[in-house]
A = this chain, B = another copy of it.
Amino acid sequence: MVSNTQSLAERILSGDVRAAARLMRDIDDGISGANEQLKQLYPHTGKAYLLGITGLPGAGKSTLVNRIVEHLRKDGLTVGLVLVDPTSPFSGGAILGDRVRMSRHFTDPGVFIRSLATRGHLGGLSWCTNDVVNVMDAMGKDVVIIETVGVGQDETEVVSTAHTTVVVLTPGLGDEIQAIKAGILEVGDVFVVNKARREGADRAVRDLETMLSMKGWKTDEFRPPVVRTEALHDEGLPELMDAIACHRTFIETGERLKGKRVERARYELIELLKETLLTTVLGIRGGMEAIDAISLKIAERRSDPYTEVSRIVSESLKGPGK
Protein backbone atom coordinates (compact mmCIF):
# COMPACT_ATOMS: atom_id res chain seq x y z
CA MET A 1 0.00 0.00 0.00
CA VAL A 2 1.12 3.52 -0.72
CA SER A 3 1.32 5.73 2.32
CA ASN A 4 -0.58 8.99 2.13
CA THR A 5 2.08 10.79 4.15
CA GLN A 6 4.39 10.53 1.15
CA SER A 7 4.47 13.53 -1.16
CA LEU A 8 3.05 13.18 -4.65
CA ALA A 9 6.60 13.34 -6.00
CA GLU A 10 7.74 10.46 -3.77
CA ARG A 11 4.74 8.40 -4.79
CA ILE A 12 5.43 9.10 -8.47
CA LEU A 13 9.06 8.07 -8.08
CA SER A 14 7.96 4.83 -6.47
CA GLY A 15 5.80 4.07 -9.50
CA ASP A 16 2.37 5.29 -8.39
CA VAL A 17 0.53 6.06 -11.61
CA ARG A 18 -2.44 7.65 -9.86
CA ALA A 19 -0.13 10.11 -8.12
CA ALA A 20 1.27 11.07 -11.53
CA ALA A 21 -2.23 11.59 -12.92
CA ARG A 22 -3.08 13.68 -9.87
CA LEU A 23 -0.02 15.93 -10.23
CA MET A 24 -0.76 16.45 -13.92
CA ARG A 25 -4.29 17.50 -13.02
CA ASP A 26 -2.87 19.94 -10.46
CA ILE A 27 -0.50 21.36 -13.09
CA ASP A 28 -3.38 21.84 -15.51
CA ASP A 29 -5.52 23.48 -12.82
CA GLY A 30 -2.66 25.78 -11.85
CA ILE A 31 -2.58 24.52 -8.25
CA SER A 32 0.31 26.37 -6.63
CA GLY A 33 1.71 23.36 -4.78
CA ALA A 34 2.50 21.60 -8.06
CA ASN A 35 5.84 23.38 -8.53
CA GLU A 36 7.13 22.03 -5.20
CA GLN A 37 6.46 18.49 -6.44
CA LEU A 38 8.01 19.24 -9.83
CA LYS A 39 11.10 20.57 -8.07
CA GLN A 40 11.46 17.25 -6.24
CA LEU A 41 11.01 15.30 -9.46
CA TYR A 42 13.43 17.32 -11.57
CA PRO A 43 16.68 15.61 -10.48
CA HIS A 44 15.11 12.36 -11.75
CA THR A 45 14.39 13.76 -15.21
CA GLY A 46 16.63 13.98 -18.26
CA LYS A 47 16.61 10.24 -18.92
CA ALA A 48 13.68 9.96 -21.31
CA TYR A 49 14.15 10.38 -25.03
CA LEU A 50 11.87 13.19 -26.18
CA LEU A 51 10.18 12.68 -29.53
CA GLY A 52 8.17 15.58 -30.97
CA ILE A 53 5.51 15.01 -33.62
CA THR A 54 3.84 17.89 -35.43
CA GLY A 55 2.01 18.66 -38.65
CA LEU A 56 -1.25 20.03 -39.94
CA PRO A 57 -4.60 18.82 -38.65
CA GLY A 58 -5.77 15.90 -40.75
CA ALA A 59 -2.27 14.65 -41.58
CA GLY A 60 -3.02 11.47 -39.67
CA LYS A 61 -0.71 12.23 -36.77
CA SER A 62 -2.79 10.30 -34.24
CA THR A 63 -2.82 7.10 -36.30
CA LEU A 64 0.89 7.49 -36.90
CA VAL A 65 1.60 8.11 -33.22
CA ASN A 66 -0.37 4.98 -32.33
CA ARG A 67 1.81 2.97 -34.73
CA ILE A 68 4.99 4.50 -33.34
CA VAL A 69 3.89 3.57 -29.81
CA GLU A 70 3.20 0.01 -31.02
CA HIS A 71 6.71 -0.28 -32.44
CA LEU A 72 8.33 1.18 -29.33
CA ARG A 73 6.35 -1.22 -27.14
CA LYS A 74 7.44 -4.18 -29.29
CA ASP A 75 11.02 -3.11 -28.54
CA GLY A 76 10.17 -3.27 -24.84
CA LEU A 77 10.26 0.47 -24.30
CA THR A 78 7.81 2.31 -22.05
CA VAL A 79 6.14 5.39 -23.48
CA GLY A 80 4.70 8.65 -22.21
CA LEU A 81 2.38 10.40 -24.62
CA VAL A 82 1.53 14.10 -24.30
CA LEU A 83 -1.16 15.25 -26.73
CA VAL A 84 -1.24 19.02 -27.02
CA ASP A 85 -4.35 20.37 -28.64
CA PRO A 86 -4.54 24.15 -28.60
CA THR A 87 -7.68 24.09 -30.72
CA SER A 88 -9.67 22.18 -28.15
CA PRO A 89 -11.09 23.71 -25.00
CA PHE A 90 -11.03 20.41 -23.11
CA SER A 91 -8.07 18.95 -21.24
CA GLY A 92 -8.48 15.40 -20.12
CA GLY A 93 -6.96 12.77 -17.91
CA ALA A 94 -6.41 10.50 -20.81
CA ILE A 95 -9.20 11.21 -23.26
CA LEU A 96 -9.38 13.92 -25.84
CA GLY A 97 -11.68 13.31 -28.74
CA ASP A 98 -11.60 10.37 -31.07
CA ARG A 99 -7.91 10.23 -31.46
CA VAL A 100 -7.25 8.71 -28.10
CA ARG A 101 -10.36 6.59 -28.09
CA MET A 102 -9.01 4.72 -31.05
CA SER A 103 -5.80 4.04 -29.19
CA ARG A 104 -5.16 0.43 -28.33
CA HIS A 105 -2.61 1.57 -25.79
CA PHE A 106 -5.15 2.98 -23.42
CA THR A 107 -5.11 -0.11 -21.20
CA ASP A 108 -1.38 -0.86 -21.59
CA PRO A 109 0.42 -0.05 -18.30
CA GLY A 110 3.60 0.62 -20.28
CA VAL A 111 1.95 3.64 -21.90
CA PHE A 112 0.86 6.76 -20.07
CA ILE A 113 -1.33 9.18 -22.03
CA ARG A 114 -2.17 12.75 -21.09
CA SER A 115 -3.85 15.38 -23.20
CA LEU A 116 -3.63 19.12 -22.76
CA ALA A 117 -5.93 21.75 -24.16
CA THR A 118 -6.10 25.51 -24.04
CA ARG A 119 -8.62 26.09 -21.27
CA GLY A 120 -7.77 29.73 -21.29
CA HIS A 121 -4.28 29.33 -19.86
CA LEU A 122 -3.04 32.91 -19.92
CA GLY A 123 0.55 32.07 -20.60
CA GLY A 124 -0.09 29.55 -23.33
CA LEU A 125 0.27 25.82 -23.15
CA SER A 126 4.06 25.56 -23.35
CA TRP A 127 5.04 25.66 -19.67
CA CYS A 128 2.22 23.26 -18.86
CA THR A 129 3.41 20.84 -21.55
CA ASN A 130 6.97 21.03 -20.22
CA ASP A 131 5.76 20.19 -16.72
CA VAL A 132 3.82 17.15 -17.92
CA VAL A 133 6.81 15.96 -19.98
CA ASN A 134 8.94 16.24 -16.85
CA VAL A 135 6.50 14.15 -14.81
CA MET A 136 6.54 11.40 -17.45
CA ASP A 137 10.33 11.58 -17.61
CA ALA A 138 10.53 11.22 -13.81
CA MET A 139 8.08 8.30 -14.00
CA GLY A 140 10.84 6.51 -15.89
CA LYS A 141 9.23 6.40 -19.34
CA ASP A 142 11.91 5.51 -21.89
CA VAL A 143 10.41 7.68 -24.60
CA VAL A 144 8.13 10.68 -24.15
CA ILE A 145 6.22 11.63 -27.29
CA ILE A 146 4.90 15.17 -27.57
CA GLU A 147 2.26 15.45 -30.27
CA THR A 148 0.99 18.90 -31.24
CA VAL A 149 -1.85 19.81 -33.54
CA GLY A 150 -1.28 22.78 -35.78
CA VAL A 151 1.68 24.70 -37.04
CA GLY A 152 1.51 27.73 -34.82
CA GLN A 153 4.47 29.33 -33.13
CA ASP A 154 3.85 27.81 -29.70
CA GLU A 155 3.25 24.38 -31.18
CA THR A 156 6.42 24.51 -33.25
CA GLU A 157 8.52 25.61 -30.29
CA VAL A 158 7.27 22.92 -27.99
CA VAL A 159 8.25 20.12 -30.36
CA SER A 160 11.45 21.74 -31.57
CA THR A 161 12.98 21.33 -28.12
CA ALA A 162 12.43 17.56 -28.33
CA HIS A 163 15.47 15.44 -29.12
CA THR A 164 14.00 14.33 -32.42
CA THR A 165 11.19 16.15 -34.20
CA VAL A 166 9.03 14.43 -36.80
CA VAL A 167 7.00 16.62 -39.16
CA VAL A 168 4.00 14.86 -40.72
CA LEU A 169 2.62 15.94 -44.10
CA THR A 170 0.23 14.38 -46.61
CA PRO A 171 0.18 14.16 -50.42
CA GLY A 172 -1.74 16.70 -52.41
CA LEU A 173 -0.61 19.41 -50.09
CA GLY A 174 1.54 21.15 -52.69
CA ASP A 175 0.11 24.46 -51.58
CA GLU A 176 0.62 23.65 -47.96
CA ILE A 177 4.25 22.76 -48.49
CA GLN A 178 4.73 26.11 -50.17
CA ALA A 179 2.85 27.83 -47.39
CA ILE A 180 4.63 26.06 -44.59
CA LYS A 181 7.89 27.35 -45.96
CA ALA A 182 11.07 27.72 -44.04
CA GLY A 183 9.71 27.46 -40.52
CA ILE A 184 8.70 23.85 -40.49
CA LEU A 185 11.72 22.82 -42.54
CA GLU A 186 13.93 24.25 -39.82
CA VAL A 187 12.10 22.29 -37.17
CA GLY A 188 11.98 18.79 -38.68
CA ASP A 189 14.65 16.15 -38.12
CA VAL A 190 12.56 13.56 -39.96
CA PHE A 191 9.80 14.25 -42.48
CA VAL A 192 6.91 11.91 -43.08
CA VAL A 193 4.59 11.92 -46.06
CA ASN A 194 1.70 10.00 -44.52
CA LYS A 195 -1.36 8.67 -46.42
CA ALA A 196 1.21 7.63 -49.03
CA ARG A 197 -1.27 5.48 -50.96
CA ARG A 198 -2.98 8.67 -52.02
CA GLU A 199 -2.38 10.31 -55.37
CA GLY A 200 0.43 12.81 -55.33
CA ALA A 201 2.60 11.04 -52.77
CA ASP A 202 5.55 10.85 -55.14
CA ARG A 203 5.30 14.52 -55.92
CA ALA A 204 5.02 15.46 -52.25
CA VAL A 205 8.16 13.46 -51.43
CA ARG A 206 9.99 15.00 -54.40
CA ASP A 207 8.89 18.56 -53.52
CA LEU A 208 9.94 18.11 -49.94
CA GLU A 209 13.33 16.68 -50.92
CA THR A 210 13.86 19.57 -53.33
CA MET A 211 13.05 22.12 -50.65
CA LEU A 212 15.32 20.39 -48.18
CA SER A 213 18.18 20.18 -50.66
CA MET A 214 17.99 23.92 -51.27
CA LYS A 215 18.85 24.53 -47.65
CA GLY A 216 22.56 23.90 -48.14
CA TRP A 217 23.48 21.47 -45.36
CA LYS A 218 26.85 21.61 -43.69
CA THR A 219 28.76 18.33 -43.46
CA ASP A 220 28.27 18.08 -39.70
CA GLU A 221 24.53 18.68 -39.91
CA PHE A 222 21.86 15.98 -40.00
CA ARG A 223 20.11 16.01 -43.31
CA PRO A 224 16.48 15.08 -42.58
CA PRO A 225 15.24 12.03 -44.45
CA VAL A 226 11.78 11.96 -46.04
CA VAL A 227 9.84 8.78 -45.22
CA ARG A 228 6.58 7.55 -46.79
CA THR A 229 4.04 5.97 -44.49
CA GLU A 230 0.47 4.75 -44.65
CA ALA A 231 -0.14 4.59 -40.93
CA LEU A 232 -3.65 3.24 -41.34
CA HIS A 233 -2.19 0.05 -42.88
CA ASP A 234 1.02 0.06 -40.84
CA GLU A 235 3.12 0.68 -43.95
CA GLY A 236 6.48 2.41 -43.83
CA LEU A 237 6.71 2.26 -40.06
CA PRO A 238 9.96 0.25 -39.91
CA GLU A 239 11.55 2.86 -42.20
CA LEU A 240 10.24 5.66 -39.99
CA MET A 241 11.51 3.99 -36.82
CA ASP A 242 14.89 3.56 -38.52
CA ALA A 243 14.99 7.23 -39.47
CA ILE A 244 14.16 8.24 -35.89
CA ALA A 245 16.80 5.85 -34.51
CA CYS A 246 19.30 7.24 -36.99
CA HIS A 247 18.69 10.79 -35.81
CA ARG A 248 18.89 9.64 -32.22
CA THR A 249 22.32 8.12 -32.87
CA PHE A 250 23.40 11.37 -34.50
CA ILE A 251 22.15 13.47 -31.57
CA GLU A 252 23.78 11.21 -29.02
CA THR A 253 27.17 11.60 -30.69
CA GLY A 254 29.63 14.08 -29.21
CA GLU A 255 28.21 17.12 -27.45
CA ARG A 256 24.97 17.33 -29.43
CA LEU A 257 22.64 15.84 -26.81
CA LYS A 258 24.10 18.15 -24.22
CA GLY A 259 23.47 21.08 -26.52
CA LYS A 260 19.86 19.94 -26.98
CA ARG A 261 19.47 19.64 -23.21
CA VAL A 262 20.73 23.17 -22.61
CA GLU A 263 18.42 24.45 -25.35
CA ARG A 264 15.49 22.66 -23.74
CA ALA A 265 16.42 23.92 -20.26
CA ARG A 266 16.49 27.49 -21.63
CA TYR A 267 13.08 27.01 -23.18
CA GLU A 268 11.62 25.56 -19.96
CA LEU A 269 13.12 28.40 -17.95
CA ILE A 270 11.84 31.18 -20.19
CA GLU A 271 8.33 29.75 -20.56
CA LEU A 272 7.99 29.18 -16.82
CA LEU A 273 9.42 32.62 -16.05
CA LYS A 274 7.01 34.32 -18.46
CA GLU A 275 4.02 32.51 -16.95
CA THR A 276 5.10 32.96 -13.32
CA LEU A 277 5.90 36.67 -13.72
CA LEU A 278 2.52 37.30 -15.28
CA THR A 279 0.44 35.36 -12.76
CA THR A 280 2.41 36.69 -9.78
CA VAL A 281 2.13 40.31 -10.90
CA LEU A 282 -1.56 39.90 -11.68
CA GLY A 283 -2.04 38.37 -8.24
CA ILE A 284 -0.28 41.23 -6.49
CA ARG A 285 -1.99 43.94 -8.54
CA GLY A 286 -5.58 42.91 -7.83
CA GLY A 287 -5.98 40.01 -10.25
CA MET A 288 -8.30 39.90 -13.22
CA GLU A 289 -10.69 42.36 -11.58
CA ALA A 290 -8.06 45.07 -11.71
CA ILE A 291 -7.24 44.06 -15.29
CA ASP A 292 -10.92 44.34 -16.23
CA ALA A 293 -11.12 47.86 -14.81
CA ILE A 294 -7.97 48.92 -16.68
CA SER A 295 -9.24 47.26 -19.88
CA LEU A 296 -12.41 49.33 -19.70
CA LYS A 297 -10.35 52.54 -19.33
CA ILE A 298 -8.25 51.54 -22.33
CA ALA A 299 -11.28 50.56 -24.44
CA GLU A 300 -12.76 54.01 -23.75
CA ARG A 301 -9.39 55.60 -24.63
CA ARG A 302 -9.10 57.14 -21.17
CA SER A 303 -5.76 55.37 -21.02
CA ASP A 304 -3.60 53.13 -23.24
CA PRO A 305 -1.90 49.74 -22.76
CA TYR A 306 1.61 51.24 -22.98
CA THR A 307 1.06 53.66 -20.09
CA GLU A 308 -0.71 51.02 -17.99
CA VAL A 309 1.92 48.35 -18.57
CA SER A 310 4.84 50.63 -17.81
CA ARG A 311 3.05 51.71 -14.61
CA ILE A 312 2.34 48.11 -13.55
CA VAL A 313 5.89 47.02 -14.36
CA SER A 314 7.54 49.87 -12.48
CA GLU A 315 5.21 49.37 -9.51
CA SER A 316 5.89 45.63 -9.48
CA LEU A 317 9.59 45.30 -10.18
CA LYS A 318 12.49 46.20 -7.97
CA GLY A 319 15.20 48.27 -9.63
CA PRO A 320 18.44 46.58 -10.71
CA GLY A 321 20.83 45.64 -7.93
CA LYS A 322 18.23 45.99 -5.18
**Closest residue on chain B to residue A288 by CB atoms:** B266
Instruction: Write the nearest CB–CB distance from A17 to chain B, whole angstroms.
Output: 22
Contact residues of A with B, CB < 8 Å? 35-36, 38-39, 42-43, 45-46, 56-58, 60, 85-90, 97-98, 118, 122-125, 130, 149-156, 173-176, 178-184, 186, 258, 261-266, 268-270, 272-274, 276-278, 280-281, 284, 291-292, 294-296, 298-299, 301, 304-310, 312-313, 315-320
**Closest residue on chain B to residue A34 by CB atoms:** B306
**Contact partners of A294 in chain B: CB under 8 A:** 265, 269
Instruction: Write the nearest CB–CB distance from A156 to chain B, whole angstroms.
Output: 7
User: Complex formed: what's the CA distance from A198 to B317 in Å?
Assistant: 57
Instruction: Write the nearest CB–CB distance from A119 to chain B, whole angstroms.
Output: 11
**Contact partners of A38 in chain B: CB under 8 A:** 304, 306
Select which of B150, B178, B264, B295 is within 8 A of A265 by beta carbon.
B295
User: In the complex, are the beta carbons of A266 and B280 less than 8 A apart?
Assistant: no
User: In the complex, are the beta carbons of B152 and A154 less than 8 A apart?
Assistant: yes
Instruction: Write the nearest CB–CB distance from A236 to chain B, whole angstroms.
Output: 19
**Contact partners of A179 in chain B: CB under 8 A:** 57-58, 87, 149
**Closest residue on chain B to residue A278 by CB atoms:** B274
Residue among A273, A281, A308, A313 with the highest chain B CB neighbour number at 10 A: A273
Instruction: Write the nearest CB–CB distance from A242 to chain B, whole angstroms.
Output: 27
Q: Contacts A153-B86, A317-B281, A317-B318: A180 and B57 contacting too (C-beta < 8 A)?
A: yes
In the complex, 16 of the A-B residue pairs with CB atoms within 8 angstroms, ordered by the A residue number, are: A39-B304, A43-B304, A45-B301, A56-B56, A58-B175, A86-B156, A87-B184, A88-B183, A122-B274, A130-B305, A150-B150, A150-B153, A151-B151, A264-B299, A269-B305, A276-B313
Instruction: Write the nearest CB–CB distance from A93 to chain B, whole angstroms.
Output: 18
**Contact partners of A88 in chain B: CB under 8 A:** 181-183
| A38-B304, A58-B173 known, 13 other contacts, Cβ within 8 Å | A56-B56, A57-B176, A58-B179, A60-B175, A86-B151, A118-B153, A152-B152, A261-B299, A266-B291, A268-B305, A272-B309, A273-B278, A281-B317
Q: Contacts A86-B183, A183-B118: A278 and B276 contacting too (C-beta < 8 A)?
A: no
**Contact partners of A264 in chain B: CB under 8 A:** 299
User: Complex formed: what's the CA distance from A122 to B155 in Å?
Assistant: 14
User: Complex formed: what's the CA distance from A22 to B272 in Å?
Assistant: 33
User: In the complex, are the beta carbons of B89 and A58 less than 8 A apart?
Assistant: no
**Contact partners of A272 in chain B: CB under 8 A:** 305-306, 309
Instruction: Write the nearest CB–CB distance from A227 to chain B, whole angstroms.
Output: 20
**Closest residue on chain B to residue A284 by CB atoms:** B320
User: In the complex, are the beta carbons of A42 and B150 less than 8 A apart?
Assistant: no
User: Complex formed: what's the CA distance from A38 to B152 in Å?
Assistant: 27
User: Complex formed: what's the CA distance from A281 to B306 in Å?
Assistant: 17
**Contact partners of A183 in chain B: CB under 8 A:** 85-89, 118
**Contact partners of A89 in chain B: CB under 8 A:** 182-183, 186
User: In the complex, are the beta carbons of A176 and B86 less than 8 A apart?
Assistant: no
Instruction: Write the nearest CB–CB distance from A163 to chain B, whole angstroms.
Output: 13
